Amino acid sequence: MLEVVAELGGVQAQLMSSAELTLWARIEQLEPEAVGHALWEERSLVKTWAMRGTLHLLPAAELRLWQTVPSLDRRYLRPAWLGYFGISAEELEQLTAAVAQVLDGRHRTREELVEEVSALLGSDELGGKLRHSWGMMLKPAAFRCLLCFAPSTGQKVRFTAPERWLGGLQQVELEQAEREVTRRFLAAYGPTTREVFALWLGIPLSRAGKLIAALGEEVTPVDMEGTLAWSLTSELTNLAGARPPGSVRLLPAFDQYVIAASRHAQTFLPGPFKDRIYRPQGWLSPVLLVDGRMDGVWKQERKGSRLLVQIEPFVDLPAWARESAEAEAEQLAAFMGRTLELSWVDGP
């Protein structure tokens, strides 16, 4: 599981159920409690805000690796960002330092953090900014490896300091981090464009291009249906000999595969169905993946001991693909400890 998370460059986790299913779709016989155990017991995974300012699961041993590259852009110190949230750069630094001090060796809910930071700074107004939705004032601390998620108490999320929680953090040089993150991305999602890389990592387009170029002969430009893309040179032989694997997967909402395909989704679809997957407000639908192509969507609902799964293909599927999708749904129900009730919604 840790190897898969590392290869993917983290797993998007604003919905923990989707993060778990992202791993379930890639790991045979994943135990239902494996992700929670790794997060809160072994502490081999860590949950925090990372790429794109979005919640991710990351290998704890690689936290600094994945935070070093995006954190250096520090978009939160730009005048437009500071002005929008009504805070100065100096105040944000004070707030971030206070958050780190309060969380050192402690677990705190959002309200507890607001109260203690306000007291430490002597300002209810400044400390109260931590209440901002989506954790906007907590993200700068997360990007600098000063904050991560701790086990919740009841329904309340708690935070802590990664240094103590994880038993120390590895050190990583900037150039090493840049090269490794770029290699990992190209290995998992290549061939791909600098635009996709920039969007995925949450950095400016110009910097994404420089990171790819810095790998020198390790990367090779390729033509991706008329678009300039980049591949690891070591992968060219495998790409040239690649054939459809005959696989079917039920990918959950916000799956890494779908995220990485967003800028060039038309090449992964059998027709004009992009708006069925990439929805308003950044929602990404669960996807029926057939031989790497997004051939439909699906949804699930838990009702007592039953798992209701509905699959809606965009095109007529061959018999083998339908059978494989049904087998995948059976495995999903078993993973959730429920009895499957499967239905198909076929086109007119």
Answer for the pair 35, 22: CB distance below 8 angstroms, yes or no: no
**Does the pLDDT value for residue 180 go beyond 70?**
yes
- DSSP class of residue 274 equals H
Which residues have C-beta within 8 Å of that of residue 262, sequence separation ≥ 6?
Answer: 196, 199, 278
Give the H or E element holding residue 4: helix 2-8
Q: What is the pLDDT of residues 249-276, one digit of tens each?
A: 999 999 999 999 988 888 899 999 999 9
Omega within 30 of 0 (cis) for the link into 191: yes
Answer for the pair 125, 95: CB distance below 8 angstroms, yes or no: no
- DSSP class of residue 317 equals P
Distance CA 78, CA 247 (A): 45
Q: Helices in 104-228 by DSSP H: which ranges?
A: 110-121, 124-128, 139-143, 162-165, 174-189, 194-201, 205-213
Return the higher-pLDDT residue of 223 and 78.
223
Distance CA 108, CA 288 (A): 39
Percentage of the chain surpassing pLDDT 70? 99
Distance CA 2, CA 38 (A): 9
**Does the pLDDT value for residue 245 go beyond 90?**
no
Domains plus CATH for the chain? Answer: 2-165 (no CATH), 174-240 (1.10.10.10), 248-344 (no CATH)
Answer for the pair 117, 102: CB distance below 8 angstroms, yes or no: yes
pTM of the model: 0.94
What is the identity of the amino acid at 16?
A: M
**Does the pLDDT value for residue 242 go beyond 80?**
yes
pLDDT for 72 equals 63
The residue-averaged pLDDT of 213-221 equals 97
Q: Helices in 54-138 by DSSP H: which ranges?
A: 63-71, 79-85, 89-103, 110-121, 124-128
**Does the pLDDT value for residue 209 go beyond 90?**
yes
pLDDT for 346 equals 84
* Closest by Cα among 54, 34, 43, 33 to 256: 54
Which residues have C-beta within 8 Å of that of residue 148, sequence separation ≥ 6?
Answer: 46, 47, 48, 63, 142, 159, 160, 161, 162, 165, 166
**Does the pLDDT value for residue 133 go beyond 90?**
no
Q: What is the pLDDT of residues 82-119, one digit of tens each?
A: 898 899 999 999 999 999 999 999 999 999 999 999 99
* Closest by Cα among 328, 343, 246 to 24: 328
Strands laid side by side in the 156-160 sheet: 108-109, 156-160, 148-153
